[in-house]
Structure 1
Amino acid sequence: MRRVSPRTQPALRPISALLLYALAAPAFATSEAVLAPVVITGSRVETSSFDLPYSVDAVQLNQDGTPALRVNVSEVLGAVPGVVVQNRQNYAQDLQISVRGFGSRAAFGVRGVKLIADGIPATNPDGQGQAATFNLDTAERIEVLRGPYATIYGNHAGGVIQLFSRDGKGDPRLRASVVGGEHGTLKYGLGAEGEKNGVGFVLDTSHFETDGARDYSSAKRDQAFAKITIKPDEDSRLTLLASSLHQPDTDDPLGLTWATWKRDANAVEPVALQYRTRKSISHLQGGATYERRFGEDTLQVQAYGGRRSVTQYQAIPNTAQIAAGQAGGVIDFDRNFYGIGARWIMERDLGPGRLTLTTGIDYDRAEDDRQGYRNFIGSVFGVKGELRRNEINIMTSTDPYVQAVWRQGDFDWSLGVRHSRVKFEVDDKYIVGTNGDDSGSVTYRRTTPAAGVLWRVSPLLNLYASIGAGFETPTMTEAAYSANGGGFNFKLKPSRSRQAEIGLKAYLGESTRLNAAVFQIETRDEIVVAGSNGGRTFYTNAGRTLRQGLELAAEADLGHQLSTRASFTLLRAVYDEAFGSVPEGKRLPGVPAVSAYAELAWKPLAGVTTAVEGVYRSKVQVNDLNNGEAAPAYALMNLRLAAEQQSGDWTFGEMLRLDNVFDRKYIGSVIVNETSPVPRYYEPGPGRSLYGGVQVSYRFR
């Protein structure tokens, strides 16, 4: 028998506790039904998640839901298995989101995971996404699709996270809220929603600011949202959407070295202060969706457009920027983007079953007017200096697709296929001295099929299996530089994946639901960091990688006003083939082997809810060689309390939240393969943090 070392045992205890909690909860179930949520992601038509042959979860959000700041999706997706959403505590770089290991290499923003809001992509054609554009104040639910069927959403769809905002319904209401707490955190907002004369509306505006959990990590963010819903007749529906985000001069504390983190988790490296690393973002977009029924058929059309401006000051050493071919230390671009999509959904009887057939096409385009500047003038750092880059980057994608579901007795047979054509174009306008013309273009094409079957063993048990193939192009940022200070890396290939999943969805008794899935993902040409030259990172293709995992999720009503939910993910993610100096068998960096979540909620009085949450993450490797200090495993406990009272047309709500109750010191996320001379891999999580807030709304009758 293998002896478990004393050092290993403490790390196993939180896992064991959470597993026992997740498995024991169903045993205390009562007779109240736990219903499967209705979802759209994956099938593109409303279907119970219980009746779909793949892993998809819906996180319900509402105006008076889980007490939280409602600033980041990391606050609400913790219970979804297979998903790791890490708040970097750095609003200049957005969240780090990975789904079954896809997306873990992102040093900023979201890659490898498709983001969609109200049917409109929040991911560019190259796969770069921005979760910060999600407005949680107006969200009704977030759906998370994992596994083979995510691949039918095309490029960078290692998983799909889709937000749906509320529709304006009922009597008009006016709402105001304020939340504040640790680290100088303050958020206040004003909203209105309802329906008048057949027109539904949801309006919201908010301001958020924080000094940051770390030194030099302050941020301010203003968001606005508007949704208008009109029904021209009984068979059609028109939705108009507009949103904005303004985030000026956001401090970027960068990562920490291991030595600095051990000394002071709230510290900032001197280089960040020297170059005043920071980022400003302005994002504005609008869109419309139209749906019309024609008997048993439905037409859906969507269109959107917008503009995004970003200025970012980096910590690239001034000595490196003097060399020829270096693009400077300031990124400055204006992006115009737009797209259109259409789909036709038809239902027909076919033989002994019922066929639902969806055909559609998506077209998306983004054009960047991009400049690069030195981040110094003489001996003054952190300012916009000499122009070193000037180009137009164009990204387009054209994706036709078809999906079919044939319901035949106790079986549902599903098939989907999508053909993606993604094109990058570079028009280089900075041809000075020895800096040559880096203009050019590259086109990536890939057909991504998926198939699945669901077997209704009984009314309380469904078994399913699915397979699929996906691909992931480099982002424009990843392809922007070649080794030795070269220009655009047109030789970088997209990665290709093959996925398989089997699972079950079951009701245990009448008030407990259990989901379980095992999966395997084989990937070729994984895009990884090749090295760095003068502060610029360039990428290459690795060999094969392998991801194998188990996901469990349980949800139950325990009676006596108690309820519980829990999730557990076990993931083995390794390089299955040696490449460069990286031997076979090394773990993929940024991917925890074990993630777990458990929650026990209690409603002692009408309108009062309290809960305890537990979170566990195993250690995380920081680079491909696995020779850096791994981010240690951690377990956290959080507490929350919410209350609501009604008096006539007034509704009052209060919330209180205490995160990291025992003030654990931990690393919340890592910057994978960071290439500084002394790598700054580590992004610390915050210590004990207390937040509280109030909300008041008035209904006009």
Structure 2
Amino acid sequence: MRLLFNTTFVVVVCIFLFSSSVYTQSKTEAKKDTLKYQLEQVTVTATRYTENILEVPYAISILLKEQIQNTKGYGLDEALSSVPGVLAQSRSGNQDIRLVIRGFGARGAGDRSNSGTSRGVRIMLNGIPETEPDGRTSFDNIDLSLADNIEVIRSNSSALWGNASGGVVNVSTVSDFSNPFLQVGGTFGSFGFRKYTLKSGTLLGIGKLSIGVSNITFDGWRERSGSKRTIVDINLVSRLSDLTKLGVFLTGAGNLFHIPGPLTQTQFDADPKQSNTTYKQRDERRYNRLGRAGITLDHDINETHGFSSMVFVNPKYLQRSERGTFRDFTRYHFGGNLIYRNSLKFDNNIENKLVVGADEAYQDGAILFYTLSPTNGRGSTLRDNKREGANTFGAFLQDEIRFGESFSLLVGGRYDNITYYSESFIDPALGLQKKSFEKFTPKAGLTYMFSKTHSVYFNLGGGVEVPAGNETDPAGTFGQDTVYLINPLLEPIESTTLELGTKQVLFISDNSLIKSLSYDLALYYIMIKNDIIPYRGGRFYFTAGKTNRMGAEAGFNLQFDGGLSLQGSLTLSSNKYEDYKVDSVHYGVPGSFADYKDNKVAGIPDMLYYASLNYAPEFLKGVFVGFSLNGMGSYFVDDANKIEVPSYNILNAVLGVRNFIDLTENLSLSGFVSVNNLTDKKYVASAFINPDIVGGVPVYLEPGLPRNITVSVSLGIR
């Protein structure tokens, strides 16, 4: 805690003192800087309209294509681990990750921690939601090899995006190209990793059509941890006129992955490759098949008025062996939005930008629960047949007033209504039941521009997150589960965030040792009430807790003369329960309470860090060598703070080509060789939160990959 407060003080001093000094310099050298340097405009579509990243009063990180290529591209953790404030942990080396932004998404409860999905953070693909109405997200459709860029909003974004928007991650697979191209690639690695990709693009009159295909097979390094995934991604972007832009996005995926399960400390020490005995016996796995079609339309009526709209449909067929049952899910997820925007200039010094919109998404479908067959397939006995549905509607308004080139004020708010539906066809006497959650979420932000390349900002805003679908089961203590299908006592999680930060791009000199420096610093304080508390291993939940989170984040990119670059990020945080009592009546001990006040929040390390050093000399024409180090501090996995995961750091190395090298007029070559976990360190990559206790021993550790090598080669044809 003392380290965090000291760091916070230093960051605040740096923000204001350094900002003031640069402001003075920028005033005296403004003309020189303007003439000599042209700052490339970086836009952020995830804020629901295009704007310079330095002008937005949020903590935002943008990962460009060169930052996410030269990886296996299987899981988002390979890219997001470099972003301050983001905890991205791979469970088994595939797409199944645990994703947390500033503590949002951290909660879980043993087997019900939901392998294959995250919560609390909104994920989008090409601006279309991957997150379901109840706030859960699977990563079946996302492959980094097909991505062009990733936008990460680390600030709470519920005032714009509604439920489960503690952070926003938008992955774009839309490439900007001017000539037709074809790229085919193969990637091969340790533990039977094989990946084949195809990417192509062509010009169609007023539009651009691009196709991406990825096929992965991974034997897995742990027992029964193999996986297979195929993704097809088709994008058509057409400029129908100077004022109208149309986008058509088609995605299909098939994803099968086995879950080796958590280990005890003794099992981890003896043999981390082994799988959990129970998971092995049941062959715990997920087999997801899904498709998605989305259409976006953006039209400017004139310089003042414009609108955008989006519609999508996302059918899913999911099968899984889970907790001793075989389950068939048939789901239909569809929705869209409509947004109106208005831009006015009152005079040369005052400009106003208004955005009003609405989002709608609905998901419904049947779930069939069967016994497991002797071969762990679908059994012959139907144990349950029920319907689970959810609808989310949100209406929002945001207004930004800009005074001259230096100061802007942003205010807004959003109303959300989330409704759950549940119906049992096995026990029709319960009937169709539903529960609705309502919340209005405000937001306000200030930005001051010291120059075109430097800003300081402050924001104050709310957040809302309803319990996820699998957290709504009623308690069985007093027979509520015989009357209700949805827990009637649950309330939405509410949060309030205060944030102060600064962003800057400094161009030093083409002739000096240091050519440029870009950085962002942020401080945040989050107050949460109605936090979700798991009972009896997550069999049911109540909303009764209060939590405080505070943190300091720093990210930087330093470019040296001669092709040397240094990138890094650091996150320090303190996350504690302010009010948290467990009523022991639900454990057969009426009149007793377990009080976890002042305990650390489970699943959130106090420290995250990342650093990478790359050398790409100009005379080697795109060839580079790089080293990276990422790690985290220790953290508790249980609310009682009795079970701890140790800290670790992992060293990686890569040798590759940033861009395609021409072999002939029509043929080019690219590729890389990487070694991850260079020192072959034994570590815990992830852990079950609030794990099950079996025979007095917690079962919670998910081992990380040992040293592994990846070789990739791609050919470009034009």
TM over 0.5: yes
Looking at structure 1, the residues matched to 161 and 337 of structure 2 have their Cα atoms a distance apart, in angstroms, of 13
Q: Percent identity?
A: 24
Distance 1:267 1:151, change over 3 A: farther
Is 1:427 paired with 2:423? Answer: yes
Q: Which residue of 1 aligns with 2:677?
A: 660
Is 1:622 paired with 2:637? Answer: yes
Is 1:675 paired with 2:675? Answer: no
Is 1:685 paired with 2:704? Answer: yes
The alpha carbon displacement at 1:39 in A equals: 3.0
- Paired residue type of 1:349: K
Distance 1:566 1:272, change over 3 A: same
8 Å CA contact 1:36, 1:49 repeated in 2: no
Is 1:462 paired with 2:455? Answer: yes
The alpha carbon displacement at 1:76 in A equals: 1.1
Looking at structure 1, the residues matched to 143 and 243 of structure 2 have their Cα atoms a distance apart, in angstroms, of 29
Aligned pairs for 1:352-501 (under 5 A) are: 352-376=349-373, 383-409=378-404, 410-431=406-427, 437=430, 439-484=432-477, 486=481, 487-501=485-499
Q: Which residue of 2 aligns with 1:516?
A: 521
8 Å CA contact 1:39, 1:48 repeated in 2: yes
Q: Which SS does the other structure have where 2:714 is aligned?
A: strand
- Paired residue type of 2:424: D
Q: Which SS does the other structure have where 1:477 is aligned?
A: helix
Q: Which residue of 1 aligns with 2:141?
A: 133
Is 1:645 paired with 2:661? Answer: yes
> Residue by residue, what CA displacement relative to the aligned partner does 1:676-696 show, whole Å, maximum 9, x if unpaired?
524321111101110001000
The alpha carbon displacement at 1:430 in A equals: 1.0
Looking at structure 1, the residues matched to 439 and 464 of structure 2 have their Cα atoms a distance apart, in angstroms, of 7
> Residue by residue, what CA displacement relative to the aligned partner does 1:613-653 show, whole Å, maximum 9, x if unpaired?
0112101211110112x111001111111124212121111
Q: TM-score, normalised by structure 2?
A: 0.87
Aligned pairs for 1:182-331 (under 5 A) are: 182-248=190-256, 250-296=257-303, 297-316=305-324, 329-331=325-327
> Residue by residue, what CA displacement relative to the aligned partner does 1:130-149 show, whole Å, maximum 9, x if unpaired?
22322323322111112244
> Residue by residue, what CA displacement relative to the aligned partner does 1:319-353 show, whole Å, maximum 9, x if unpaired?
xxxxxxxxxx2232110111011111111013641
- Paired residue type of 1:679: P
8 Å CA contact 1:397, 1:422 repeated in 2: yes
Q: Which SS does the other structure have where 1:207 is aligned?
A: strand
> Residue by residue, what CA displacement relative to the aligned partner does 1:489-545 show, whole Å, maximum 9, x if unpaired?
23222111011001112344531112111100000011132113xxx7222223210
Distance 1:381 1:132, change over 3 A: closer
Distance 1:219 1:149, change over 3 A: closer
- Paired residue type of 2:653: L
Output the aligned Cα RMSD: 2.2
Looking at structure 1, the residues matched to 521 and 382 of structure 2 have their Cα atoms a distance apart, in angstroms, of 54
8 Å CA contact 1:171, 1:196 repeated in 2: no
Q: Which residue of 2 aligns with 1:503?
A: 501
Q: Which has the higher contact order (CA 8 A, sep 6+)?
A: 1
8 Å CA contact 1:58, 1:142 repeated in 2: yes
> Residue by residue, what CA displacement relative to the aligned partner does 1:247-301 show, whole Å, maximum 9, x if unpaired?
23x2111111121111111111211121121221101111100111111122111
Looking at structure 2, the residues matched to 33 and 88 of structure 1 have their Cα atoms a distance apart, in angstroms, of 44
Identify, as 1 or 2, the structure richer in helix: 2
- Paired residue type of 1:392: R
Looking at structure 2, the residues matched to 370 and 76 of structure 1 have their Cα atoms a distance apart, in angstroms, of 34
Distance 1:393 1:588, change over 3 A: same
Q: Which residue of 1 aligns with 2:578?
A: 576
- Paired residue type of 1:624: D
Looking at structure 2, the residues matched to 103 and 664 of structure 1 have their Cα atoms a distance apart, in angstroms, of 27
- Paired residue type of 2:609: A
Q: TM-score, normalised by structure 1?
A: 0.89
Is 1:73 paired with 2:90? Answer: no
Q: Which residue of 2 aligns with 1:594?
A: 607
Looking at structure 2, the residues matched to 574 and 259 of structure 1 have their Cα atoms a distance apart, in angstroms, of 29
Is 1:696 paired with 2:715? Answer: yes
Structure 2 segments unaligned to the other structure (5+ residues): 4-17, 19-32, 509-515, 583-593
Q: Which SS does the other structure have where 2:77 is aligned?
A: helix
Q: Which SS does the other structure have where 1:261 is aligned?
A: helix
The alpha carbon displacement at 1:36 in A equals: 6.6
- Paired residue type of 2:468: T
Distance 1:356 1:148, change over 3 A: same
Structure 1 segments unaligned to the other structure (5+ residues): 5-22, 24-30, 317-328
- Paired residue type of 1:480: D
Aligned pairs for 1:13-24 (under 5 A) are: none
The alpha carbon displacement at 1:122 in A equals: 0.5
- Paired residue type of 1:687: P
